[in-house]
Amino acid sequence: MRNDTNISWPSPGSAGLIWLGQAGFFVETGQHRILIDPYLSDSLARKYKGTHNDHQRMMPPPCAIEDIPRPDVVLITHAHTDHMDPDTLGPLFARFPDVPFVVPVSKLDDAKSRIGTGARLIGTYADETIIPIDGLTLTVFPAAHETCIYDAEGHDFFLGYGIESAGLKIFHSGDTIPFAGLSERLAKFAPDIALLPVNGRDKSRLEQGIPGNMTLAEALELGRKIPLIIPHHWGMFSFNTIDPAVILAAAQECPDSQIKLPVCGELMHIDKINGRETHQG
């Protein structure tokens, strides 16, 4: 299943981003093209067919994998299939075998099996700063998908990324709830844009094996001094989402930040973000 509408991809050198659904984004900083957590298949619907939470998509993929322009780097926050999807990343690697994939070092084995044994994998861990390609700096954040989980060496299973490129700073939190030290790390990084999950969490979902994320209120509180907040991780699965009307209503009551509700597959231009004046179109 896919949306046959042609995407207007951001032009090289012109800052913009496209929400691909769930936590996925295609970002053009003006210098680099970055792909984050793309889920463009129905692999979870096939896996959970016939179960209570059947993982049928509420929105079709905005594009086919073969339509994605060549990214300079792919960032993967963790190994859940809607973030590290073999049916998306395997074909992507086949198209672009030289593109590096940044993944949690704790999940390198998963990445090899899902992306490809010959893929250029860059394993990373929380509180590391890396330069995966020239001119692009990543500040690696820990994340708590309900809780922080570590491998035997103490490396986080869940990560977020602070992206610095062409004078633009973007924070993708990965899947997370608020946790001790996150707001301080974020204040130090001082992003221009925050990409934050808003699907929330509750006991019922957790008992079904569905770890949760920030509520909308928590996301807005975390990002209240950030010029632009883009809520994500909603609208994909009926059992794990939030009504977009609630996001729109909250945006009208948030004076310190600009809240932009993304439309899957729609180009969002970003201008003058460092001067705290933004334009989306």
Position 146 in a domain: yes
Position 140 in a domain: yes
199 and 235 in contact (C-beta within 8 Å)? no
Q: Tens digit of pLDDT for each residue in 123-165? A: 999 999 999 999 999 999 999 999 999 999 999 999 999 999 9
Structural domain including 107 reads 16-263
Q: What is the pLDDT along the chain (281 residues), one digit of tens a residue?
A: 444 458 999 998 999 999 999 999 999 999 999 999 999 999 999 999 999 999 999 999 999 999 999 999 999 999 999 999 999 999 999 999 999 999 999 999 999 999 999 999 999 999 999 999 999 999 999 999 999 999 999 999 999 999 999 999 999 999 999 999 999 999 999 999 999 999 999 999 999 999 999 999 999 999 988 999 999 999 999 999 999 999 999 888 776 668 999 999 999 998 755 443 443 44
The reported pLDDT for the residue numbered 5 is: 55
Q: Which residues contact 97 (CB under 8 A, 6 or more apart)?
A: 116, 118, 119
Position 162 in a domain: yes
Dist CA 118 CA 111 (whole Å)? 11
Q: Which residues contact 222 (CB under 8 A, 6 or more apart)?
A: 178, 182, 183, 186, 194, 196, 214
- Token reading at 57: 């998509």
Position 273 in a domain: no
Number of structural domains the chain divides into: 1
Spacing of C-alpha 118 from chain mean position:
24
The reported pLDDT for the residue numbered 255 is: 62
Q: Which residues pair with 35 in a beta bridge?
A: 26, 74
Hey, what amino acid is at 145? H
∠243-269-62 over CA atoms, to 5°? Answer: 55
Residues in the chain: 281
Considering only CA atoms, which of 165, 124, 179 is closest in space to residue 274?
A: 165
Position 1 in a domain: no
The reported pLDDT for the residue numbered 275 is: 44
Position 278 in a domain: no
**CATH code at position 241:** 3.60.15.10
> Assign residue 120 a region: left if phi > 0, alpha if psi is -120 to 50, beta otherwise?
beta
Q: How many Cβ atoms from other residues are within 10 Å of residue 112's Cβ?
A: 14
Position 212 in a domain: yes
Dist CA 207 CA 209 (whole Å)? 5
The model carries a pTM of 0.94
Tell me which DSSP letter residue 112 carries.
H
In angstroms, the first-to-last Cα distance of the chain is: 26
∠153-23-113 over CA atoms, to 5°? Answer: 50
The reported pLDDT for the residue numbered 251 is: 83
- Token reading at 85: 């999807």
DSSP string covering 125-173? -TT-EEEEETTEEEEEEE--BSB--B-TTS-BS-EEEEEEETTEEEEE-
Considering only CA atoms, which of 44, 136, 36, 41 is closest in space to residue 76?
A: 36
The reported pLDDT for the residue numbered 279 is: 39
Position 268 in a domain: no
141 and 128 in contact (C-beta within 8 Å)? no
